[in-house]
Amino acid sequence: MVIFSGIQPTGRKHLGNYIGAILQYVEGQDRADPAIYCIVDLHGTTVAYEPAELRERSRDTAALLVAAGLDPERCVLFRQSDVPQHTELTWLLSSVTSVGQLNRMHQFRDKAGTARDRVSAGLLYYPVLMAADVLAYRAHEVPVGEDQREHIELMRDVAEAFNKRFGETLVVPEGNIPTVGARVRDLKEPDKKMSTTGGTPAGTVYVDEEPASIVKKFKRAETDSGREIVRADDKPGISNLIEILAVVRGTAPNAIEHDFEGKGYGDFKTAVGEEVAAWLSPVRERYLELRQDTAAIEEIFEAGAAKATAIAAPVVADVRDAMGVGKPV
Determine, following the binding rule CB under 6 A, whether residue 57 of this chain makes contact with ligand ATP.
no
Question: Annotated binding residue at 223?
Answer: no
Question: Annotated binding residue at 9?
Answer: yes
Question: Annotated binding residue at 199?
Answer: no
Question: Annotated binding residue at 8?
Answer: yes
**Candidate residues 28, 145, 236, 237; the one interacting with ligand ATP per rule CB under 6 A:** 145
Question: Annotated binding residue at 10?
Answer: yes
Closest CA to 41 of 3, 84, 70: 84
**Candidate residues 2, 3, 7, 131; the one interacting with ligand ATP per rule CB under 6 A:** 7
Determine, following the binding rule CB under 6 A, whether residue 223 of this chain makes contact with ligand ATP.
no
Question: Annotated binding residue at 17?
Answer: yes
What is the number of the residue whose Cβ is closest to ligand ATP? 20
| Cβ closest to ligand ATP, residue 21 vs residue 256 | 21
At 63, the amino acid letter reads A
Question: Annotated binding residue at 259?
Answer: no
Question: Cα angle vertex 47, ends 185, 114, to 5°?
Answer: 75
Which residues from 177-206 bind ligand ATP, rule CB under 6 A?
182-184, 193-198
Question: Annotated binding residue at 16?
Answer: yes
CA distance 52 to 29: 30
CB of 82 to ligand ATP, least distance (A): 18
Task: Tell me if 19 sits within 8 A of 181, measured CB to CB.
Answer: yes
| Cβ closest to ligand ATP, residue 7 vs residue 62 | 7
Determine, following the binding rule CB under 6 A, whether residue 147 of this chain makes contact with ligand ATP.
yes
Helix axes 294-323, 51-68, angle to 10 degrees: 100
Helix axes 149-166, 294-323, angle to 10 degrees: 40
CA distance 8 to 37: 11
Question: DSSP secondary-structure letter at 202?
Answer: G
Long-range pairs of 169-173 with CB within 8 A, sequence gap ≥ 24: 169/318, 169/319, 169/322, 170/135, 170/138, 170/315, 170/319, 171/2, 171/135, 171/138, 171/139, 171/140, 173/4, 173/134, 173/135, 173/139, 173/140, 173/141, 173/142
Task: Tell me if 38 sits within 8 A of 80, measured CB to CB.
Answer: yes
Residue 14: strand pairing partners? 206
Determine, following the binding rule CB under 6 A, whether residue 85 of this chain makes contact with ligand ATP.
no
Task: Tell me if 176 sits within 8 A of 143, measured CB to CB.
Answer: yes
Determine, following the binding rule CB under 6 A, whether residue 58 of this chain makes contact with ligand ATP.
no
| Cβ closest to ligand ATP, residue 21 vs residue 75 | 21
Which residues from 13-32 bind ligand ATP, rule CB under 6 A?
16-17, 19-21
| Cβ closest to ligand ATP, residue 8 vs residue 81 | 8
CA distance 42 to 282: 30
**Candidate residues 35, 144, 187, 245; the one interacting with ligand ATP per rule CB under 6 A:** 144
Question: Annotated binding residue at 11?
Answer: no
Determine, following the binding rule CB under 6 A, whether residue 134 of this chain makes contact with ligand ATP.
no
Question: DSSP secondary-structure letter at 184?
Answer: P
| Cβ closest to ligand ATP, residue 12 vs residue 320 | 12
SS3 17: helix
Determine, following the binding rule CB under 6 A, whether residue 88 of this chain makes contact with ligand ATP.
no
| Cβ closest to ligand ATP, residue 92 vs residue 154 | 154
| Cβ closest to ligand ATP, residue 92 vs residue 193 | 193
Question: Annotated binding residue at 184?
Answer: yes
Q: Which residues bind ligand ATP (CB under 6 A)?
A: 7-8, 10, 16-17, 19-21, 144-145, 147-148, 182-184, 193-198
Binding residues for L-tryptophan: 133
Binding residues for ATP: 8-10, 16-17, 145-147, 184
Binding residues: 8-10, 16-17, 133, 145-147, 184
